[in-house]
Copies of this chain bind each other. A is one copy, B any other.
Amino acid sequence: MGDNIYKSIELTGSSTISMEDAISQAIAKASETVHDLQWFEVTSTRGHIENGKVAHWQVSLKVGFKLA
């Protein structure tokens, strides 16, 4: 009955704008194929540098969803 089971997958989002945008893009992409994503947890924050500036923010995150 009411006991739920969740699965979590690990994604890395990338953005030229901000850490929040990198996370949001990863979640948006995953939600194209997995419905009902429910939570995320950041596991690392990295980025690429070009010419002394951050070119891409890269945030890795676990994303959880309920198994139907």
**Residues of A with Cβ closer than 8 Å to B?**
2-16, 18-20, 22-32, 37-42, 44-49, 51-54, 56-57, 60, 62-64, 67
- The DSSP consensus for interface residues of chain A is strand
B-chain residues with CB within 8 Å of residue A32 when the two chains form the complex: 52
Instruction: From the candidates B4, B12, B20, B49, name the one contacting A63 in the complex (CB within 8 A).
Output: B49
CB distance from A26 to the nearest CB of B (A): 5
CB distance from A35 to the nearest CB of B (A): 9
Q: 8 A-B Cβ contacts within 8 A?
A: A3-B22, A5-B11, A9-B10, A27-B52, A28-B53, A31-B52, A40-B46, A41-B45
Give the docked Cα–Cα distance between A60 and B57 (Å).
15
